Amino acid sequence: MLQRLRGDPRPFIFIVIAVAILGAFFIVVAPLFATSGSATAELGGELPTTATLGQNFEIDLGYDNTGDSVISPTCVLVATTGPLRASSVTFQGLDVETVRNGRACGGSLNGQETISVRVIVTPSAAGTASITLTPAQGGTALGPGVAGNVAISAA
């Protein structure tokens, strides 16, 4: 058998090339299966219950990609009622994004990854307001967020 391969190495070369092509195929395709499926995420943290008029306050949260797929872009949907306005969201302490049309979007988040999120909120009048923060991919909500009421007192 060895003598036959020395005389005509084409079958051996064909087998090596076929194995290399098959290996390259699995290297390219396997990650697609690992990152497929529907995206799901959760926001975890505590909302403040009081705020002072004229002073911004921060809401620190954890943004947890609970699925296996990549979330891109990673967004936070912000809904407020009453005298509150969310001005910006900081993703992972680095990426500061302005809240526009009720959402702020950062980069991407890999499956099972968790990052920190900081939302800057400005009260504009005394009274009671509510805020809801929801994890999203673009404009699509991905799971439960956090919600609560904030009592705003005059300075």
Residue 83: CATH number of its domain:
2.60.40.10
Q: Looking at the structure, do residues 51 and 113 belong to the same domain, yes or no?
A: yes
Q: pLDDT band at 2, cuts 50/70/90?
A: low
Query: Residue 117: pLDDT above 80?
Result: yes
Q: Looking at the structure, do residues 26 and 101 belong to the same domain, yes or no?
A: no
Q: Looking at the structure, do residues 64 and 107 belong to the same domain, yes or no?
A: yes
The region, left, alpha or beta by phi > 0 then psi within -120 to 50, assigned to residue 82 is left
Query: Residue 33: pLDDT above 70?
Result: no
Q: Looking at the structure, do residues 50 and 25 belong to the same domain, yes or no?
A: no
Q: Looking at the structure, do residues 78 and 55 belong to the same domain, yes or no?
A: yes
Q: pLDDT band at 28, cuts 50/70/90?
A: confident
Are the C-beta atoms of residues 120 and 76 closer than 8 Å to each other? no
> What pLDDT, on the 0 to 100 scale, is given for residue 35?
58
Query: What's at 10, amino acid-wise?
Result: R
Instruction: Kindly report the pTM of this predicted structure.
Output: 0.77
> What pLDDT, on the 0 to 100 scale, is given for residue 85?
95
Q: Looking at the structure, do residues 87 and 144 belong to the same domain, yes or no?
A: yes
Angstrom distance (rounded) from CA 41 to CA 17: 42
> What pLDDT, on the 0 to 100 scale, is given for residue 1?
59
Mean pLDDT, residues 122-129 taken together: 95
Q: Which two tokens stand for residue 28?
A: 């390219």
Domain count, the chain: 2
Q: How many CB atoms lie within 10 A of CB 9?
A: 11
- Give the domain range for residue 71: 41-153
